[in-house]
Structure 1
Amino acid sequence: MTAAQADLLIDRPSVTDGAVLWRIAKESGSLDLNSSYSYLLWCRDFAGTSAVARTDDGEPVGFVTGYVRPADPRTLLVWQVAVDAAYRGRGLAAALLDGLTARLAAERPITAVETTITPGNTASERLFTSYAARHGARVSRRVLFGTGLFPDGPHDPEVLYRIGPLSLPHTR
């Protein structure tokens, strides 16, 4: 953790964080915004596979949501990563991703991280390729969902980034 992150705690989200996570996602300008209801459910049902960065007064300022893939229980799928505008540029997204995968690796064997990124989202591309480099893992890419699969109008393709194999220490 850098000095710029030292005043922040990386924690599990709680249901009371759902509204703030929705706001951060909405204000990100780059995420597909889900309903506010979905962020409440996410904080209830997937808190164990998600992380939130909190200020010393407990206010969420960034988050990563994810889940362990049912068909591949050694893979964490990262759904969304967002940081409040006032806290960007401090390496917080990377710290959240590292903190989450370290916590999960202590609970279960995780050998890969997956996420989808739309072409041109250079911030996400940098975040996940630097994560792979920090962990000595390869990155493979392929289109997971092409534009024609989205029923609600034009949508860029979602490119699957698979990072692995990871050699995270499993202590359980």
Structure 2
Amino acid sequence: MLRRPVSEDGASVHRLIGRCPPLDENSIYCNLLQASHFAGTSVAAEVDGELAGFVSGYIIPERPDTLFIWQVAVAEEARGLGLAGRMICEILRRPACTRVRHLETTITPDNDASWALFRGVARKLETACAESVMFDRERHFRGRHDSEMLLRIGPFARAGAQVSAALAR
């Protein structure tokens, strides 16, 4: 079941992310904010009453046509079922995303699963991807974290139900 997260999901989100290396673990407080302040652009997935997936995102304030996907977490037992794509689709068809025509995310160069997920989203939306360095390993992370590559998808002409139909293919 896909649903809008609530603040009570924060601790479960924190545990889920901890079980999904190489995802960066944020504080429980951060996860509480994701599940409450960003609930309209985030999604929780339950399987048998347990949190099995979570996608956090937000509309970039200076660019209301762009949804930034912050993090995608899927429990090991729920992988390979297309859950991540369905969660992204769920967010894109929400009222908060009616003006969205671009999707952005950052991915480390070695995260093959995320590259495949988001390139697949772009293919299904029949639109282009552009890659660039957003946060450089040395300049921004002082060598303590791999570079984060910005992947920008779009523009896509479809909105709401049309996005949902394209991603369901």
C-alpha distance in structure 2 between counterparts of 1:166 and 1:43, whole Å: 27
Give the 5 Å matches for 1:20-169.
20-57=12-49, 59-104=50-95, 108-151=98-141, 153-169=143-159
C-alpha distance in structure 2 between counterparts of 1:127 and 1:89, whole Å: 11
Letter of the aligned partner of 1:66 in structure 2? G
Stretches of structure 1 lacking an aligned partner (at least 5 in a row):
1-8
Any conservation in 1 of the 2:132–2:151 contact (CA below 8 Å)?
Answer: yes
Query: What's the offset of the Cα at 1:151?
Result: 4.7
Letter of the aligned partner of 2:55 in structure 1? V
Query: What's the offset of the Cα at 1:104?
Result: 4.4
Aligned length: 161
Query: What's the offset of the Cα at 1:30?
Result: 1.2
Structure 2 length-normalised TM: 0.89
Moved over 4 A (4+): none
Any conservation in 2 of the 1:13–1:47 contact (CA below 8 Å)?
Answer: yes
C-alpha distance in structure 1 between counterparts of 2:75 and 2:12, whole Å: 10
Stretches of structure 2 lacking an aligned partner (at least 5 in a row):
162-169
C-alpha distance in structure 2 between counterparts of 1:96 and 1:35, whole Å: 22
Letter of the aligned partner of 2:30 in structure 1? S
Aligned to 1:10: 2
Structure 1 112/104 Cα, relative in aligned 2: closer, same or farther at 3 Å? farther
Structure 1 length-normalised TM: 0.88
Output the aligned Cα RMSD.
Answer: 1.6
Q: Report sequence identity in percent.
A: 40
Query: What's the offset of the Cα at 1:99?
Result: 1.4
Letter of the aligned partner of 2:131 in structure 1? R
Letter of the aligned partner of 1:33 in structure 2? E
Query: What's the offset of the Cα at 1:85?
Result: 1.1
